[in-house]
Amino acid sequence: MIRKLFLTFLLSTSILAGNVPAEGEAEVNSKIILRHFHQFTPKITSLIEYNWSQEELERKEKSLKLGFKYRVHNNVKLGIFYKRAYGLRHDDDWVWQNMKWLWNDTNSRGENILIGEAGYKKLFGNYIFETRLTYEHNFFNDHDAIKVRPGVTYLVLDEGAAFINLFLNYEAYLPLNFSEKSIYEQWIYAGLLYHYSDVIKPGVFYNFRKGYWTSSKDFKDKNLGKYEQTHSSHYLGVSLNIYY
Amino acid sequence: MLKIILMMSLISTTSARDIGKVIFVKGKVTNTVGKIKRLVKKNFIIQDKSTFETFKKALVVISLSDGSKIKLNELSKLAISVPKDKNSPTKTGLYKGSSFFQVIKNKMIKKDKFIVKTRQASLGVRGTQFFVSYGKKVKSKDSWMCVNKGLVSVKPKSSKKEVLVKAGEGVHIKDKNNVTPPKSLPWTKNLNWGFDRRKGKLDNTVSIEEAYGDILGQDYD
């Protein structure tokens, strides 16, 4: 009798434990972006970018990106960057550990990412329309992805020079060799950049992120089938661009 | 009868006063006096109240009797009038395109010796080297002016405000009422200020688009 009760209890707890990531409601997280630009020649600019964001519970994403942009044409720039990131979360971070399903703690896990990008800009009056294509290779898990980002910036001018930028971008992450989704993450970036001076340009922004968790390696190895869970977050952040 | 014809031709040539000559020309350039339009060649004698027009890839350098020089860039149109009275200012009107001006100072004239008028403003000059251009649109409402040497006063047509622009500075004349404060304009640093072909090429390769083009060059992320 006691044995039957115990087995029933075990069965019910394993069902209730949740062997797939929880969907949950969209959270509001904070984010900081710091950028330094240096123009070596009229065509070559370097970029150092530090990103920090508070994610769900105790997870924090932070990264440092270094690289160069080259202006091949008045409207076209190519870029190449190296990024070192911490706190990133991937599908395979959903693991079976200590008799339960949980997310890996990745806060101290560094990942190296190679980035190549091409951007096209066109000016119509006070509007800049831009489309940017980015390729990323993550050396940690050999994931390759393409990001497509169309967007528009409206320039508020003062005496012929930009005074405030209002921007709105959409970005889609297209996985090339991972995930079960054709678009595994989507972003909306909206914000304002204030041209305080030629050197200092602070900004505020709102981001919305929507992604999909699909079956992790551990989940597949246990032959538990498949899952697809959405996750979303809002971000409110501040940025600071330095040109020196 | 022949005497009358000769007398009439003499009167017509003396009434059209010569004010200078063309010292360099490239491409198709025309000169119009009244209803008569002629193609311009080197050493072409310029008559008072004439209008020059340059076509695509054309260039003309003019030397005026008051000592001034004008380099008119392609796709531009400029009217010139030099008064008989040497103490009165030479007047020009830039209808489209862009032009370089080199004005020799006249110690006898206390006021402006040379005046350039555009659709938006009047520019007064005493002795200087400066550049004027309409904006990037064909019928642009704005224009730009920068000074290489000397001093230029800028007065928008519908404004009482006068702005003095020094060497190394430029202004954006937004319309008939507004002109920006003078400041250094990075895109003007590569303008070709040459007027003498013997000292080098005269073509200006800086496009007015570059006045606006800084915007596309700027990175934000």
- ipTM value of the model? 0.84
Tokens of A70: 């080259």
Tokens of B128: 């200087």
- Which residues 30-49 of chain A have a CB within 8 Å of chain B? 35, 37, 42, 45, 47, 49
Q: What is the number of CB-based contacts under 8 A between chain A and chain B?
A: 34
Give chain B's domains with CATH numbers.
Answer: 17-215 (2.60.120.1440)
A69 occurs within a structural domain? yes
Mean pLDDT of B15-22: 83
CB contact under 8 A, A160 and B221: no
Q: Which amino acid is residue B147, in one-letter code? A: V
Give how far Cα A127 sits from Cα of A23, A151, A156, A169, Å: 38, 10, 9, 13
| pLDDT reading at B63 higher than 50 | yes
- Summarised one tens digit per residue, pLDDT across range A159-198 is 556 789 999 999 999 999 999 899 999 999 999 999 998 7
Residues of chain B with Cβ-Cβ distance to A37 below 8 Å are 219
CB contact under 8 A, B216 and A121: yes
A21 occurs within a structural domain? no
A66 occurs within a structural domain? yes
The CATH number for A77's domain is 2.40.160.40
A165 occurs within a structural domain? yes
- The number of domains in chain A is 1
Residue of A nearest to B211 (CA): A160
* Partner residue opposite B216 with nearest CB, options A37, A49, A74: A74
CB contact under 8 A, A37 and B219: yes
Q: Which amino acid is residue A173, in one-letter code? A: Y
CA distance B219 to A124: 17
A14 occurs within a structural domain? no
Whole-prediction pTM value?
0.61
| pLDDT reading at A209 higher than 90 | yes
Residues of chain B with Cβ-Cβ distance to A35 below 8 Å are 221
A78 occurs within a structural domain? yes
A8 occurs within a structural domain? no
B140 contacts chain A (CB < 8 A): no
Rg (CA), chain B: 18
Mean pLDDT of A14-18: 49
A68 occurs within a structural domain? yes
A123 contacts chain B (CB < 8 A): yes
- Summarised one tens digit per residue, pLDDT across range B140-189 is 667 888 888 888 888 888 888 888 888 888 888 877 888 888 877 766 77
CA distance B186 to B168: 10
